[in-house]
C-alpha cells in the first residue's frame, strides 16, 4: 500500500486538445506523494494528449494544473525540471550514449555549466542503475539494447532526475507480459519506497488494476478517478468497451472476450 502524503498534483476542470480541436474536458483529479496512477481509455481518447499537456509539451485549452499547489505555468524551466520528469514514447535522440551516460543526463538540472558530477549526482546515478537492474549494462550503447532494456534506462534516467512527479507515456509498449509486469512493479516500488508520484498511460488495464493506487479512466464524459476497487464496484470498467466484443469480469478484475 502507498503511504499517502501531501498533495503533489491537482488537476482542476482541465480541457486538453489542439488549437480549436478539443480532445477532453472536465478532467479533475488529485495525486499525493507516493502514488502510482494509471491513465486508461480507448485508442484516441486523449491519454497521450493529457500526458503531454501535464508535461508542458503542449498548452492546455483551459482549467488548472497545480504542481505542489502552484500553477505549473509559474515555474521557471529550471525549477520545473527539479520537480517534474517526463518519459515519452518517442525514442531518445541520444541513443549513441552508453546506458550510464544517458542516465547521467537526468542529473542535468543539478549540475553546473561544466556538467561536472558531484558525489551526490554519482550516487543518484548508481542508485538508478541498481533499481532498474542496469549495472551490468552500464557501458552498453543505448542503440544496442532491447525495447525492454531501453525502457528501463529511460525510467532510470527519470529516477536520477529525482523529481517529485514522474510522467510516462505508455512505458509498457512493445514489451512481453513478463517485462510489462517487471517495469510496472519497478514503478510501483519507486513510488512507494522513494515516495515519488508516478502517472503513466497504458492499455494494460488488468495490470493497472492490480498494481496502481489510483486509476484515471478517460471515457469522453466523466473521466472517473479513484482506487481500482472503487472503480470496479462502480462498474466503470464495464462501460469502457462496447459490450458485444468484450466484457469486464469484476471477480477477476479482467476483460473476457465474448465468444
Ligand atoms: N498533433 C495533433 N494535432 C491534432 N490532433 C491530434 C494530434 N495528436 C493527436 N491528435 C488527436 O487527438 C486525439 C487524442 O489522441 P491521443 O494520442 O492523445 O489519444 P490516445 O488516447 O493516447 O490514443 P492511443 O491509445 O491510440 O495512443 C485523437 O483524435 C488524435 O487524432
What CATH architecture applies to the domain 7-257? Answer: 3-Layer(aba) Sandwich (3.40)
Residue to mutate (ligand 1; options 14, 19, 49; most atoms within 8 A of CB): 49
- Strands 7-18 and 21-32, how do they pair? antiparallel
Q: Three cell numbers at 238?
A: 464495464
**148 pLDDT exceeds 90?**
no
Q: Residues 72-123: pLDDT tens digits?
A: 999 999 999 999 999 987 766 777 899 999 999 999 888 776 678 889 999 9
CA angle 198, 203, 208 (to 5 degrees): 50
- Segment 39-45 mean pLDDT: 96
**Interface predicted TM-score (ipTM) over 0.90:** yes
In whole angstroms, what is the distance from residue 242 CA to residue 145 CA?
Answer: 38
Going from the Cα of 20 to the center of ligand 1, the distance in angstroms, rounded, reads 14
| Residues near ligand 1 (Cβ within 6 A) | 18, 21, 23, 41, 43-49
Q: Where are the domains of the chain?
A: 7-257
Instruction: State residue 145's pLDDT score.
Output: 92
Ligand 1 atom nearest 51 alpha carbon: 18
The model's confidence at residue 243, banded by pLDDT at 50, 70 and 90, is confident
Q: Residues 106-118: pLDDT tens digits?
A: 998 887 766 788 8
Give strand pairing partners of 65: 11
**169 pLDDT exceeds 60?**
yes
What proportion of the chain, given as a percentage, has pLDDT over 90? 76
CA-closest residue to ligand 1 atom 6? 18
Are 216 and 39 a contacting pair, CB within 8 Å?
Answer: yes
Q: Residues 201-239: pLDDT tens digits?
A: 999 999 999 999 999 999 999 999 999 999 999 999 998
Going from the Cα of 16 to the center of ligand 1, the distance in angstroms, rounded, reads 11
In whole angstroms, what is the distance from residue 198 CA to residue 179 CA?
Answer: 18
In whole angstroms, what is the distance from residue 248 CA to residue 237 CA?
Answer: 6
Secondary structure in 3-state letters for the chain = CCCCCCEEEEEEEEEEEECCEEEEEEEEEEEECCCEEEEECCCCCCHHHHHHHHCCCCCCCEEEEEECCEEHHHCCHHHHCCCEEEECCCCCCCCCCEHHHHHHHHHHHHCCCCCCCCHHHHHHHHHHHHHCCCHHHCCCEHHHCCHHHHHHHHHHHHHHHCCCEEEECCCCCCCCHHHHHHHHHHHHHHHHHCCCEEEEECCCHHHHHHHCCEEEECCCCCCCEECHHHHHHCCCHHHCCCCCCEEEECCCCEEEECC
Instruction: State residue 174's pLDDT score.
Output: 83
- C-alpha to C-alpha distances, 26 to 15, 89, 123, 198, 259, nearest whole angstrom: 6, 25, 42, 21, 36
The model's confidence at residue 136, banded by pLDDT at 50, 70 and 90, is very high
Amino acid at each position: 500500500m502507498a503511504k499517502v502524503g501531501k498533495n503533489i498534483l491537482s488537476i482542476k476542470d482541465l480541457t486538453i486538445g489542439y488549437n480549436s480541436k478539443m480532445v477532453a474536458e472536465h478532467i479533475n483529479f488529485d495525486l499525493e506523494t507516493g502514488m502510482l496512477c494509471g491513465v486508461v481509455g480507448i485508442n484516441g481518447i486523449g491519454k497521450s494528449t493529457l500526458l503531454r499537456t501535464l508535461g508542458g509539451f503542449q498548452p492546455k485549452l483551459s482549467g488548472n494544473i497545480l504542481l505542489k499547489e502552484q500553477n505549473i505555468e509559474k515555474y521557471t524551466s529550471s525549477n520545473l525540471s527539479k520537480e517534474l520528469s517526463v518519459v515519452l514514447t518517442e525514442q531518445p535522440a541520444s541513443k549513441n550514449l552508453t546506458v550510464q551516460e544517458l542516465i547521467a543526463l537526468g542529473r542535468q538540472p543539478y549540475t553546473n555549466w561544466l556538467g561536472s558530477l558531484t558525489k551526490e549526482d554519482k550516487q543518484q546515478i548508481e542508485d538508478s542503475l541498481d533499481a532498474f537492474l542496469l549495472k551490468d549494462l552500464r557501458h552498453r550503447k543505448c542503440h544496442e539494447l532491447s525495447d525492454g532494456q531501453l525502457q528501463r534506462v529511460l525510467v532510470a534516467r527519470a529516477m536520477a532526475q529525482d523529481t517529485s512527479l514522474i510522467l510516462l507515456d505508455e512505458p509498457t509498449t512493445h514489451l512481453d507480459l513478463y517485462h510489462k509486469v517487471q517495469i510496472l512493479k519497478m514503478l510501483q516500488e519507486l513510488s512507494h519506497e522513494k515516495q515519488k508520484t508516478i502517472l503513466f498511460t497504458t492499455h494494460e488495464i488488468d495490470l493497472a488494476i492490480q498494481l496502481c493506487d489510483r486509476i484515471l479512466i478517460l471515457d469522453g464524459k466523466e473521466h472517473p478517478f479513484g482506487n481500482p476497487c472503487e472503480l470496479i464496484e462502480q462498474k466503470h470498467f464495464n462501460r469502457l468497451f462496447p459490450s458485444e466484443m468484450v466484457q469486464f469480469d469484476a471477480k477477476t478484475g479482467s476483460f473476457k472476450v465474448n465468444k
